[in-house]
Structures are given as structure tokens and as C-alpha cells.
Structure 1
């Protein structure tokens, strides 16, 4: 038997083993890890392994892999979470009593104030108001007076304080840093660029941190840069003489990326743990085309200009921002078998570069006129993720700082597969696709629940399609698409498929296709609570889905949309908003509640649909397999395969499951979400005015369709051509928000405002139209 030659070389803290065509480096600290990477990437044509021994690898700077000449490079840990690549560094602190349970320790940050302080590896709370309360829905505690004049007056030096607040419409959040006070003593701050839909911060859901005067609770800390002191109220039971403290130092832990001529290829990261880096919320400012998002291109791992990179069986915990970010060109990369939890922002992001997009626009209200638009289909470069996979990942408890986040995010990418992931406990979406560029995605066998927990008007699965063809003014879109046939396919070239997923959302929709989302195939999914919403778009085929305790929500469809809704099982009546056109076909569906079928037929829909008890095997436990004699088969329905969620035994043991609610066989029994949507005021609350029919905005669906930040205003339901209201400029779908500078919340307030202004011939109105406000003058008599 021929023996392979084995050589052993000790290089400081690196042990190098060579056998045949493979070289292995064994490392024990961050310095030796960087040295091993530098050596490994230069070993032309070899298989190289870097093995991290158990322990902490505290980085002073980001590990960068700019190229690799090796045939393959594997960087591996020593068992699950045993080899920790950390963004923090242990510090020796000498604590001195300062009274009232407070202690101080000298610490020279050398101009880089610590963003996070850890005690025995766990993050402590930066001094904040209101105090941390994990039972509170928003920010673990929010208060309307967080930055009130009265409270601010009690702060000696607020410079460097952070303000966190939801968007006024609860569409994600904002973050600001205080830079001083003005002459009147009011705070001066900058920021708010973390959301691509500008608005005021929410008047109730806000909090402030990094303020010395708010240091009052065990577990809170504050750093005084002038005194070079850390102030701490230790958690109860802490022995400061034995406790290990560390301070975060860097934001990105590993960056792998080459250039267009030489992408980095064939690298595997496995069985590594990533933790305790800086938060990135003030770096989140690049707009993602016309989606509601801005992003920071960074995270624990950043990939750009790569091919065939694999990140598997790793854990990402205690991070301040994103876990894994694939930016620009990345091809056939795989992110699988990972645990991502307790992080500040998003889990896995596939985001291309805007320079790959033809005729891009970067704000909701912007659009490129079609007569100057680049009408060439598809991307103009390859600077986008393509043929990449996110599979078998457990993603939970994300967005602990930033609120415009998702477990998996896809923007400006093509042929991304997201399958067999379990995603739950998120402040916004579980899976979000921000635009149609360039389609071909497969989203399948995912289990997504406990979503949209801190925000609103969103979905467990959420998408936008504000592509080249789309305008916020539906009349413009209705005119462009027939005139330029195929324009709606220029960006979303290939269908986006959602199949065999289970979605659940309590503060929005289980599946929410918003603003222009087009070219979709949605089949064999189970929606547990929030229903399925299709706002305007084109060419959506929805078939063989099970919608529990809710229904189908069509909103403001385009003319000749080509949409199809067939062979679905719904529980409650449809919930249309401002629907004039119903696509190609809505038929051959099954209604659990008989009134749903009656209402659908009143709209000239569902001629071949039916109703009854679906005869699930065990709806109480969430088993929606149909019994052999189920009447649902008669509409052409087939069984739904739901071998969903993570598959690896390690992650299956950790994963939770959604709460299953009783099936609402009768109309009065329905989900909390559907109850909110169907809670209409009596018909008598509709009013007639100037020939138009008006009603109070009452539901989240009406609010969403109009793009309102609050559930208030008076909606124009009917406005006949030639009526006085139409001649004065009102349109169906308008929402009256103010009359003569008086806020209008409902029809009663509108009557009062008109009564007060009855002596005038004309009054100024503020209305919402096409998701933006405008002012018009209306002759009231």
C-alpha cells in the first residue's frame, strides 16, 4: 500500500499540515487566522482547509478575502458554535462604586465610543427611555414623550443620543443621532434616511437611548467620552470582580470579494459562530430603487464578486446588523443549515447593484417617462445575485434594532431559491422581494409566522413591483401598458413562484403583493390568518391555495391585468377594495362560509364555485390534508404537500411552530385580522355629498389601498361623471383628510367642518390620491 506523504510545520500559532494535494492550517486566535487566510489564498490549485480551534477570535478589523488561487478553500470551526468570530474584544475594567447602585470604570475609547457593551457575552442595555420592557410590542418599550421638551430639558448633554421611532404609517422605522440643541433648547438631530418613504416619526412609538440621565435600571450602561468613564448599574446578582466585559469594535466581520475579471470562487465557511459586532442602523441609507427600503451593504459576512461560495451550519447570534449580505454579482452561492437569531437587522440579503437596472428610479413618487425609457428587456450588467440559494435556515428574533427588515430579502436579483427555511418573530416581513428585477425566484416549502409584529400594512411574504412600467397613478399605468405591449415584463422577465409555503401574519396579510407586483405563480400555499392580497399588477396566477379564517383581498386592479384566481379554498367572503376590473377569471373556488359564495356571485364571480365543510383531517392541529370524501376535490383541487420548514435535525429541534386557531366554519367565527377588516360601521354612516357617496375610512385594507399613515379620513366610494363632486375634481378612491385646515377623521367631522365653513363659497381640501397628499379647492354651494 502506497503511503501519502505528510508534513507538519509550526508557524508561530499556526500549525500547517500538508498531505497529497491538501494543505491544512490550524489556528488558535484572530491574528493567526488572518495569517492563515493570507497564506491559503496564494496556494495555487491546492485544496486548502483552515481549521479554527475552539475559542473566541476577537477581530481588530474586518477579515478580507480579496482573491483565492486555491482550487478550494474551507474555513471550518470545531463543532457547533465552538469557534466564535467576534466583533467585540474583552476589556479589563476596574469598577468603583458611584452611589445609588451605580459603578464607574475608566475606559479610553480613543475617539471611537463603544456602541455595545457585553457582560459575559450578553449585551447590556444602553441607558434609555422608556426602560426596557420585553412585554411591550414596540422597541420593548416606547413612549410619546421620549423626546418631549420637558424630558429633553432634564438632559445636561444629549449629544450622541439616539432616537428610534416607527414611520408615521408604521411602515418600518427611523433612526437619528442627536447633534446638539438649538437656541430654544430643542434637540437638533440628523438621520431618518433608513426608510425610502419619507414621513414624520410616529407620535407614540418612539424611544431614546444613550442619555446619561436615563441611566436608572439594572443592566443599563452609559459611556461618558469626556470623562472617559463607563457608567453601569449591574444586573442583579452580578459579581463585578468575576464578570467578563467586552466592547464591540467593528461592524463587518468577513468580506469575501474579487473583481469582475476575477471573482472569488469555491470557498466554504462552516461550523463557525459570528457574534457581537457593532450595530449598523445609522449606516442604513442606500435606497433600494422605489421600494420602501434603504439598506446598508454589510453584515457579519459580505459577499460581492463571488461564485460557488457556501456558508453552512454556522450560527449568527447577537449581531448588531445583518447576518449575510450578497451584494452585486454573486453566482451559485449557497447559504444553508444556519441558525440566525437575536440580530439587529435582516437575516439573508440578495441585493444587486442599481447600475444593473435599466431606467432606474429611487423614490416611490418618481418614474421614468416611457418615451425616454430604455425599453431593452432585462439587466444591463451582471452586477446582481443570480442562481443563489438560501435553504434550511432557521431565522428568528431579527430586527431587534432596525424595523424595515426581513428574514430573507431579494432585490435586483434573478433565479434566487429560498426553500425549507423557518422564519419567525420578525418586526416586518419574513420574506421580502422589493422589485421585479429580474424574476425567476422560487420561494417554496418555507414556514413563516409571527411576522409584522412591530409594524403594519405588510405581509409575512411581502413584495413590491414598482418597475419601469409602473406609476403610482393607475391611470398612467393603464395607458402605458396597452400602448407598449410587454412593457410590464421588461424587468420581471421570469415568473416568481410561491409554492408549498405556510404563511401567517397578525398585522397585515399572509401574502401581500403590493404596488405593481407582476408575473407571479402562487400555488399550494397555506395562509393561516391574514389572507392573500393582490394589489394592482399583471399576470398573477393564484391556484390551489388554502386560506384559513380569512380570504382573498383584491385591491385596485389594473384594466386587463390577466390575473387568475381559481381552485382555491377560502374561509370568509372576499374583501375587495376599489375593484372595477377583475382580471381574466375568478372562479372554481371553494368557500367554507356560504355567505362568501353568495357575495362573490353578486359580483358576477365564481359561477362554478361551491361551498361547504372542507373535511380537513385535523384542522385543530393544523393538518389541512383533505379527507378522501372532501367536497373540495370537486373544484379541481389537489392535496397540498407541506413538508415545510427546516430539515436538518439540529435546527428542527430548535424551531417553533405557529399557533393554530380554530377553523371559522360560521361567518361570526373568523380570525382577529379578518374581524378587524370586516368591522364596518352601519350603512347609514355612508353619506351623500355633491352627488358623491362617501364613507369613513375604517379598516386596514382601506387605509392600505389609499396609502394612508393612519386609519382616518373620508373615502370617496362613488363619484358619478358629471356630478358636482366630479366637476370639482374629486375622484373615486380619494380620501378627504382636511377641510379648511380642520382634520377630518370621519363623516361626522366632515359635516361639522362643512357647517363651520358654510358662509364661504369655496373651501380648501387636503386629500389623499395615489398614495400622496394634494390640495384642491372645492365649491361647496
Structure 2
């Protein structure tokens, strides 16, 4: 028995040895498929966890020789300053799958910049200088924070446009102070506020700057007379936080902020415009590359690079970004952070299939966050510029794209995007152009100078825009929406009479490009400076349903085959503009809270009916157009509007019209970490009939107003009825007093809409606040006249 026990022990020990050996071999095999990178590594090492490499570029170069068909590169914590963009192409992968990730969620930054170690010396009482032996750069970071280039006017965090503008930015009285302005910049809004222009100053001649640039917008126009500023000029280095680099003498000058010791600070500057480029070919796309939990920072500004017109949309674009993808399939960035970038964050350019970005945080960047932009070679009879058109006799009338060089079934999902367009104003959170079947879902987007989501043309549709939360949009520009689209496709002509005749004679043209419907559903949009959804200039083939529009309402301009149903237009309404005959448009089963705002609409589409209005007068106004014969009016009875629950109660009249409730808790980013970081949308005060009866007087824009009260007021002010708003207090210093408004004036209409009470007046102001002006009809001394009020 003892011998048997000894034999059994020997067998068990032998099995244990074999098991340990097998586990060791398995582990060794797994290690051989992985590469490790550490700031403390060496590029001559074997890349194991115990002998890591030092640079990500070397790790990528080792992938093609590594065993196995799925390789992971684990990057240890630290900042990796790149000498050139990391290139991932078919030759680098050699057919392998690749995953680049941080090691155990350690904080990893891939930097397009450089770390400087300047030796500061005193230049003036407030300004330090240091010799810097490096190339030119236009972004400087002190302890991780970007600082403004020397500029006029000085940086103002509270200013609406460009953080400060001045009408005299390039007046001769100022340019005369500049000894050597070469390399300075003039930035200005488009005259129509449709984006921005950027110019490099070459010289000053006769007091005026000689400029180079202005190619960043596809709708040429003069510069805005007021919204402009200059930067990168030494003589404007006069405020704490500003800096200037003299590329000729190689001296860096800085005006330190109070409490900042530049000798102890981390100083970084921009260098490269791209960080990672995933680039295949039409014959051999790059497939199955994943990048996870990596931070991208410090790219150079791209405003003076080559900009490409994107058909007839308003856009010119730099086809690049911190991440550039071309000819890819199933390449995904997950859980990444993009910040302190001078241009775009992610550019998915040309042919890409099922590639995208998710669960990522994009903020404090110079231009757009995520762009899906196809190649113009894929577009049939492509026209460039708003005024251009390919004659029908010369037009390629084949439906759809010419080739496959465009993003297809790509995605932007569950991302937090905010504080973008810090320098370039013709930008957006998510841009779609010359692409098909793009999925944009569960993104939270806010604090953007123009649209949160933009579609630049109808080529080729099929996109799904769902469950997004988009607010604080169009903050620095105008005539736009939280969601915006253009549809200047093959059928569209800049001359309306020509376009009408073409569309009537050749209706088959309409969907040559917009082949598949774009679905916009289950989103929450708020734009206080334009429309919540703005379908502009011929946007066609849309299905819009189950959306909460919190401020700006819904606009359909021109276009065909749009269906909007089961949407809630809070404090606003439907804006149909210059519709075509036989447009096929549908607007039904929606809740609106103000009258429609038609402009040059004679033919009201296929169906406008079964909608719920706020009051009888608004419904009667709609019926006078021949629409809404089955629509009703009444209180929609929202469950809890103050908390953002706009579902309607079981007693709501909306049910009888076919309205159906939809979830109110699925908007925006769902990742818990990003959700906790995100700002929350502000819900508007509900301007409903119940509120109108409750609020009889209130402070308003620095004055005090009240509703007209009965026959006594009618007689005293000489009014035609008992409706209107009386000005009861108006300080001489108020902006409305400076506009000509006086005490005891009675406002009876605003923006050509009756203002029966102060809630109606406030509702109109909310829609015009972004313009800065409001035209009102006023009774004074029993006489009626018009005033234009400045609102800000």
C-alpha cells in the first residue's frame, strides 16, 4: 500500500510538471503575440513586458514579423512625443489584426507636440523670453492648458465670438504700431455668419494688411465688419497668458499668468497635424485595427493648409485630423480622449467600411470632432460651389455613386463631444458628406459654434441619426440648426425658376443622389440661435420622428419627400420655406406650441394634418392655408415638462390624433463615465396657456413689463383691443431704452406676430435672440409705429 501511494505521488508530480510546462508554453506563445511599449524601454529590446520597446512606431514596425494573426500593442503610462505620424498600412500589418491599447487602463498620451525646456530670462517688467531651437508652432501649452497667441482684442472667455472681436482689428491706427507683422493672422466671420475666414498677414502696405488665405468657406463673401480679431503679432503681447514666438530669431516670449512659475511649468508646443494614419489602398484596405483607451493631444492648427470644396455645400475642409482613416474596414477607436488639438479630431476619408469611433471624449479642439467624408470621384456630375450646376443635357443621370470611395456603414456612437471649433467656425460635432448608411447614435454634443450634426449633401443617404442629445449649438454663427443639412444634389439649381421647371419635367432627378431615406429619430435637440432641425436648400428623402425639439422648431426648405411625425416642438413650431409643387412632404401627428411660420409656400405637400396646436387661433391660422382639417388644439398635458419628461398624459388630446409616447431617458451618451462628465441640457420654461394666465407681469431684459388689463388700459393707451404688453419701468441705461423704447409704451406685435401677453412676447424673443434684434409694433400716445429693439 505504501509503494502504491509513492507511485501515485510520482505520477501526480509528473502530471503537475507537464501541466506547468504546458501553461508556460501557452503563456510564452501569448507573450510572443504581444508587444509592450514604455517610456523606460529601449527600441532594441524584444518588446516583452520585461524588456519593452520605447516608441509606438517601433512596436508597429515589429507587428509584421510577430507570430500569430492577432497582435496587441500594450502601451505603459506616459506621454509619447512623436517625430512623425504613426502609419498603419497593409505592409505594416502583413495580414494581421492589430489592437493598440493602454496597459491596464494606465494613462497614455500620444502627442503630436514637443516638450520644451526653455531657460527664461527677463525681457520687460511683465514679459519673459527664452531661446527655443525648434521649428515654428502655433499652439503652446503650459501645465496642460492652451494659452492664447498674442492678440487684439485680448482673450475674453465670456465673449460670444472668437473669445473677443473688434471692428478696428486692422485699422491703420493699429497696424501702424506693428513693426514686423509678417506671419500674423486675421480671423473673421463670414459676412452672413456662415462660418469663418482665416488669413495670414504678409505685410502692411499703406496702412492696410496684405493678406493670404480666405479659402476656408465654400460660400465666398466679404468679411464680417465687426466679428474679427488679429493674433500672432508681437506688439499685441500685452495681457497675462499671452505668448509670441519669433520664428526668425527663435525667441519665445511669454506674459505669465499670475501664480504661474514658467521655470517650473511643463511647456509643450504643437508640431504634427496628424497622430495616427490608418491608410490602405483600393486593392488592399487596412482591416481589423482597434485602438483603445489612448489620449491624443497637441496637433498643429490646420487653418492654412489645403482646403477642399465639398460639392455645393457651404463647406471647405482640411482632409485630415489627429486620426486619419482611408481605405479601411472594421477599424475602431474605443474609449479614447481627444483634446488640445489644433484641427479635426477624427477624419474618416474616402473608402471606409464599418469603421468608426465609440465611447470616446472629444473636447477643446480647433475644428470638427468626427468627419465622414467621401471622395468627390464617387459623385456623378459633381458640381462645386453654390452657384454651379451641370446642365441637364450634360448630366450623368445614372442613380447613385460612381465608385465605392466613400464611407459606408461607418459609425459614431456613444461619444461625448463639446467645446469644439475653438478657431474654425465652419465645423461640427459630426460631419457627413458623400457617404452612405452612417450610424450616429447616443452622442452628447454641446458648446459648438455651428451645428452639432451636419449632413452636407444627399449623396447617398441611408443614415440613421438616433438617441443623440444636442444642445448649446450655433453659438458663434447664424442661420443654422442643432441638426443641419443641405441637399444641393443633381436636381438642385441656384435659380429657383429653373429648378422648378426641371423638377416638374424630370421628377426622376430628385432621388438620383438621395437614394435612401435619412432617418432622424428619438433625439433631443435644442438650438436657441436657429432651428433645432434645419433641412435647408433641397434636403430630400428624410423620415423624422419621435424627436423632442426644445427651442428652435423644425424647418423644411425646398426639397422633396420629407416625413415629420410624432415629434414634440416645444415652445415653437413648423417652419416650411419655399416648397415645391408636388413636394410629397408630410407633417402629421406632431405637437406644436406656436403657429406655423410659412415663407413663400403655396403648395402644402402631400399631408399636413392631425397635429395638436396650443390654442384655437393657431389652429385657425393653419386651416386658412387649407391644412390641418383634422388637427385639434388644447393643452398637450406633458407628464413633467420641468424635468424634461414630455410624454403626454392619458387624458391628453394628442392621443386622439394618433400621437404615441416614446422614451425620454435614452438621449445622449450612455457610458457611465462619460455621462457623469457631460453637461446637462437646460429645459425651457414651458410657454403654455396655463402659464400665460398665471404670469401677468415680470422683469424682461432689464426693464419691467405687464399685460394690458381690461377696458381701462384700452382706453388709456388708445388700443384697438385689450391685448398687449405695457412697459412699466425702463432705466435710461437699459439697452431697450437706447433702442427707443419708453415707459408706458404698449408692445402689440413682435416679428409681425401678435403679442397678446408677455409669455407670447418672450416666446418670440427666444426665437430671435440669436439675431440680436427684434422688430416690434408699439402704441404710444394712441399712435402705432415700429421700433427695432437691440436684444444684446
TM-score using structure 1 length:
0.84
Report the 3-state secondary structure (helix = DSSP H, G, I; strand = E; otherwise coil) of the residue aligned with 1:317. Answer: strand
CA–CA separation in structure 1 for the residues paired with 2:427 and 2:484:
11
3-state SS of paired residue (1:282): coil
Shift of 1:482: 2.8
Cα separation, partners in 2 of 1:28 and 1:501, compared to 1, 3 Å:
same
In 1, distance between residues paired with 2:773 and 2:97? 56
Q: Of 603, 617, 641, which residue of structure 2 is paired with 1:619? A: 641
Mapping for residues 501-650 of structure 1, pairs under 5 Å: 501-642=523-664, 643-650=666-673
Matched, 1:458 2:483: no
Please, which of 76, 96, 113 is the counterpart of residue 121 of structure 2?
A: 96
CA distance in 2, matches of 1:97, 1:252: 35
Following the alignment from structure 2 to structure 1, what is the Cα–Cα distance between the partners of residues 74 and 356? Answer: 20
Please state how far the C-alpha of 1:368 moved relative to its aligned partner. Answer: 0.5
1:449 aligns with 2:471: yes
Question: 1:49 aligned to 2:72?
Answer: yes
Give 1:157's match in structure 2, choosing from 161, 170, 180: 180
Give yes or no for contact 1:81–1:272 (8 Å, CA) kept in 2: no
Give the Cα–Cα distance (whole angstroms) in 2 for the partners of residues 106 and 323 of structure 1: 31
CA positional deviation for 1:42: 4.6
Q: Unpaired runs of 5+ in structure 1?
A: 9-16, 684-697, 714-745, 750-781
Which residue in the other structure is 1:325 paired with?
347
2:320 aligns to what? 298
Instruction: Flag the 1:575–1:79 CA change in 2: closer, same or farther, 3 A.
Output: farther
2:750 aligns with: 679
Partner of 1:665: 688
Correspondent of 2:385 among 363, 372, 386? 363
Partner of 1:69: 94
Distance 1:700 1:357, change over 3 A: farther
Of 340, 343, 347, 2:369 maps to 347
3-state secondary structure, aligned to 2:304: helix
**Partner residue of 2:142 out of 111, 116, 119:** 119
Q: Which of structure 1's runs of 4+ aligned residues deviate more than 3 A?
A: 1-8, 41-45, 78-81, 666-670, 698-704, 709-713, 746-749
Q: Distance in 2 between matches of 1:310 and 1:41?
A: 20
Distance 1:437 1:472, change over 3 A: same
Q: Does 1:173 align with 2:196?
A: yes
**Cα-to-partner distance string for 1:318-356 (whole Å, 9 max, x where unaligned):** 111111110000001131000001110001000000000
Bigger shift: residues 39-48 or 448-457: 39-48
Cα deviation for residue 700 of structure 1 reads: 12
Distance in 1 of aligned mates of 2:305 and 2:767: 33
State the Cα deviation string for residues 42-70 of structure 1 (Å, max 9, x = none): 54751100011000010111111122224
Question: What is the CA distance between 1:585 and its match in structure 2?
Answer: 1.1
Give the C-alpha shift of residue 214 in structure 1: 0.4
Structure 1, residues 625-660: CA drift from partner, whole Å, max 9, x if none? 111221111100101223111011111111112111
Q: Is the 8 A contact 2:635 2:689 kept in 1?
A: no
Alignment pair present for 1:239 and 2:249:
no
Q: Relative to structure 1, is the Cα distance of residues 22 and 637 closer, same or farther in structure 2, using a 3 angstrom cutoff?
A: farther
* Paired residue secondary structure (1:230): strand
SS at match of 2:452: strand
Change (3 A) 1:531 1:122: same
Corresponding residue SS for 1:99: coil
* 2:267 is the alignment partner of 1:248: no
CA drift at 1:78: 3.3
Q: 8 Å contact 1:45–1:70 — kept in the other structure?
A: no
Deviation at 1:407, TM superposition (A): 0.4
| 1:44 and 1:69 in contact (8 A); partners too | no
Distance 1:612 1:661 in 2: 19
Contact kept? 1:80, 1:314, Cα under 8 Å: no
Give CA-to-partner distance per residue, 1:708-740, whole Å, 9 cap, x none: x99999xxxxxxxxxxxxxxxxxxxxxxxxxxx
Shift of 1:259: 0.4
Q: CA offsets, 1:199-253, max 9 Å, x none?
A: 0110000011001010011111111123221111111111222112122111111
Answer whether contact 2:373 2:407 (CA < 8 A) is retained.
Answer: yes
Q: Normalising by structure 2, what TM-score?
A: 0.83
2-structure distance, mates of 1:641, 1:582: 31
Higher CA-based Rg: 2
Alignment of 1:151-230 (within 5 A): 151-182=174-205, 184-230=206-252
Matched with 1:28 is 38
Judge conservation of contact 2:310–2:316 (CA < 8 Å) in 1. yes
Structure 1 397/222 Cα, relative in aligned 2: closer, same or farther at 3 Å? same
Match of 2:16 in 1: none
Say whether the 8 Å CA contact 2:551–2:767 is kept in structure 1: no
Q: Find 2:63's aligned residue among 40, 43, 53.
A: 40
* Aligned equivalent of 1:58, options 74, 78, 81: 81
Change (3 A) 1:482 1:615: same
SS in 2 for 1:269: strand
Once the two structures are superposed, what CA deviation does each residue of 1:127-168 show, in whole Å capped at 9, x if it has no partner? 001001101000111111111111111111111001111000
| Distance apart, 1:446 and its partner CA | 0.3
Alpha-carbon deviations, 1:693-713, whole Å to 9, x = none?
A: xxxxx9999999xxxx99999
Aligned length: 686
Give the gaps of 5 or more residues in structure 2: 1-18, 40-52, 702-724, 726-746, 755-763, 776-784
Q: Which residue of 2 aligns with 1:107?
A: 132
Match of 1:84 in 2: 109
CA distance in 2, matches of 1:503, 1:703: 17
User: Bigger CA drift: 652-661 or 383-392?
Assistant: 652-661
Taking the aligned partners of 1:576 and 1:38, their CA distance within structure 2 comes to: 61
Return the offset for 1:605.
1.1
Question: For structure 1, which segment, 643-652 or 469-478, has the greater mean C-alpha deviation from structure 2 after superposition?
Answer: 469-478
Distance 1:258 1:421, change over 3 A: same
Q: 1:721 aligns to what?
A: none
Going by fraction, where is helix more abundant, 1 or 2?
2
